[in-house]
Amino acid sequence: MGHDRELLEALNEAVAAGRPVVLATVVATRRSVPRHAGTKMLVYPDGRQLGTIGGGEMESRVLEEAERALRDHRSRLLDYALVEPARGDPGVCGGEVQIYLEPYMPAHTILVVGGGHVGRAVVDLADWLGYRTVVVDDRPERLTESEMPNAGTRLVGDLAAVLGELEIGADTSVAVVTRSVDQDVEALPILLASPARYIGVMGSARRWKEVRTALLESGIDDADLERISAPIGIEIHAETLEEIAVSVMSEIIQALRSPGG
């Protein structure tokens, strides 16, 4: 019981800190096997593990499957016979074991660049949907707790400086909803240099044309600009701030849920 408590506490710590981890649990056994049903093991992205489900070749194969689960975010049920290594079995104990792999992944991050009225509406909706939210703006008064109560992280400062220090991974979608063309031109080269899953930019077709021209003149490749969705959002004839947020988040969700997203 003490070991299970330590393992579950470690799982809770990883989830609370937003660190991905896979929980491997022996769910069923037959005849002679190394560990009993209920035995658990944690597997981290760097290959570290806490606990063991029996060691040897079987555990090595489980670790490989755990790596795949961390990549595709999918649970899987594994069945192993431990009878004849000559035919490919990962052991000779004489029994059979079934192991369930369950990846715990951090919530996808919605990075909102621009803390104006639209930015707040997007943050509010993204938070309600269960996403991790980060908002960036150069105006301290826009990112107070009272002005942006549902933001998980508020970052104030020069956009280029703040974004340059921010870790933006493939588990991040970006909504650029700034107040000017100049700020879009300042932020987008940094965002395009990241592996962000989605980048959308608010504004009219005319504004986007101006931003796009400035980016091309600054040396950004046309192929890189194809990553950007502009104007941001799905066309639902939105008028209110809340409707605009629905449009933006709908497109982000569509991008995340589409095959290969």
One domain, residues 209 and 240: yes
65 shares its domain with 133: no
Which DSSP category does 251 fall into?
Answer: H
Q: β-pairing, 21-30 with 40-43?
A: antiparallel
pLDDT score, position 30: 79
Q: Are residues 63 and 156 in the same domain?
A: no
Beta bridge partners of 178: none
169, 205: one domain: yes
* 129 & 90 share domain: no
Using the 3D structure, point to which of 40, 73, 104 is the last residue of a domain: 104
Could you tell me if 162 and 245 lie in one domain? yes
* Regions of the chain with pLDDT less than 70: 1-2, 32-34, 82-94, 259-261
Total number of domains constituting the chain: 2
Chain centre to alpha carbon of residue 110? 9
Q: Report the alpha-carbon distance of residue 139 to residue 174 in Å, rounded.
A: 19
Looking at the structure, do residues 100 and 122 belong to the same domain, yes or no? Answer: no
This prediction has a pTM of 0.74
CA distances (Å), 92 to each of 83, 164, 232, in order?
A: 5, 54, 58
Based on the domain organization, do 95 and 167 belong to the same domain?
no
pLDDT computed for residue 216 by the predictor: 95
- pLDDT of amino acid 80: 81
CA Rg value for the chain: 23
Name 111's Cβ contacts closer than 8 Å, sequence gap at least 6.
134, 135, 136, 166, 168, 172, 173, 174, 175, 196
Structural domain boundaries, residue 87: 2-104
Amino acid at 160: A
- Please indicate, yes or no, whether residues 156 and 33 belong to a single structural domain of this protein: no
Q: CA nearest 229: which of 214, 260, 250? A: 250
Contact criterion met (CB below 8 Å) for 137 and 117: no
Count of H-run helices and E-run strands, the chain: 8, 11
Residues 132, 209: one domain? yes
Q: Is the dihedral of CA 83, 85, 88, 91 positive or negative?
A: positive
Instruction: For CA atoms 90, 92, 93, 94, give the dihedral sign.
Output: positive
